[in-house]
Amino acid sequence: MDTTFTFTISAFVTFITVIDPVGLAPVVVGLTSHFTNAQRNAIVARATFISAGIILFFALVGRFLLDRLGIELYAFNIAGGALLFLVAVDMLFGRQSGTRETKAEEEEAMTREDISVFPLAIPMIAGPGTIATTILYVGQATPHPMNLLAVAGAIISALFLAWLAMRSCTWIIKHIGKTGILVLSRILGILLAALAIQFMLNGIATYIQTASFIK
């Protein structure tokens, strides 16, 4: 029970941190400034549902793809941990993460009429960090039904908070401000950095155990 509780808390913290719902608010404000509230809400809803579909796809077939490519889960733990650590570093320094959106992509998004698919769904919400986190946690939870439910709950909660934050983006900017968002992102960045290192340590430990067993 204690292990399941710890896994559940870890999953919730990681998904909420990687998706960073509050951090999406200034992006939505900037990209939808010329839309009405009704149009903005429709874009936000589409982006959330598209992100959910992408995450569900990788949750179902991610491990299958790793197996077909001959990639062991411990290798993905190390690689995924390294990717999440890069995201955490960008959060700590208040930078727009290149794993979510490049400068060129940001400039292109400003000229698009429908931004629900790009850049909101991909890569802002369901980007490489979210996909890696999904495959990692589903891989760890697969033998345990309760852990799988915890991962599903974490994903749904993170997506709901993202939807809520994007719908309330103007209110968040008005009451919290960009400084408040940066402070919150830095706090979440510290947590994500620690979780990313733990992923890598787990992968290394599993690799050492596997190599010792083979010998």
The answer to whether the CB of 63 falls within 8 A of the CB of 80 is no
The letter for the amino acid at 23 is: G
CA 137 from centroid of its chain's CA atoms: 12
Residue 97 buriedness (CB in 10 A; 0-12 / 13-18 / 19+): buried
Per-residue pLDDT of the chain (215 residues; tens, 9 = 90+): 678 899 999 999 999 999 989 889 888 888 887 788 899 999 999 999 999 999 999 999 998 888 898 888 888 888 888 988 888 888 888 776 555 555 655 555 555 557 888 888 988 899 888 999 999 999 889 888 999 999 999 999 999 999 999 999 988 888 888 788 888 888 888 888 888 898 899 889 988 888 776 55
Q: Is residue 137 classed as helix, strand or coil in its secondary structure? A: helix
For the chain, give every domain's residue range: 22-214
Sign of the alpha-carbon dihedral angle for 194, 196, 199, 203: negative
pTM: 0.82
Q: State the Cα–Cα distance between residues 164 and 172, nearest whole angstrom.
A: 10
Residue range 137-190, pLDDT digits in tens: 998 898 889 999 999 999 999 999 999 999 999 888 888 887 888 888 888 888
CB neighbourhood size of 133 (10 A): 30
